[in-house]
Amino acid sequence: MKLINDFFTVTEIDDSQEDLKFKVRMNPAHPIYQVHFPGNPITPGVCLVQMAEEILENRYQRRLMLQTAVNIKFKMPIGPEDCPWFVFNKVEFSDEVLSVRISIEADGKQYAKMSLRYNIAE
């Protein structure tokens, strides 16, 4: 199930620096927030990983399949009203693999960080 343009939308892109940055807005009315957790909704970590993949797929117009996830750290919860930036740094293509480090940030705070490797599907 794709999350982009349903669970979240990209509202701003900043590629003027070395890092690629994508600001996102979550959909507070999405059914995921009705069960995770009622009365205190939090964006599930697996959704954050999927969001990163979909942002990269749209950016590079390639289908990706997660191969390895290392050093995933969720430091603070992200609620449906938050509008964090997905900051992609160290984006490296080699053969049929895309490696990237990602930081999810807002207002000078880091909510999560992860290092992911994807197989590039044809």
For the chain, the structural domain boundaries read: 8-121
User: Which pTM was predicted?
Assistant: 0.95
Q: What is the pLDDT of residues 70-108, one digit of tens each?
A: 899 999 999 999 999 999 999 999 889 999 999 999 999
pLDDT of residue 95: 85
Residue range 8-121, CATH number: 3.10.129.10
Residue 48, Ramachandran bin (φ over 0: left; ψ between -120 and 50: alpha; else beta): alpha
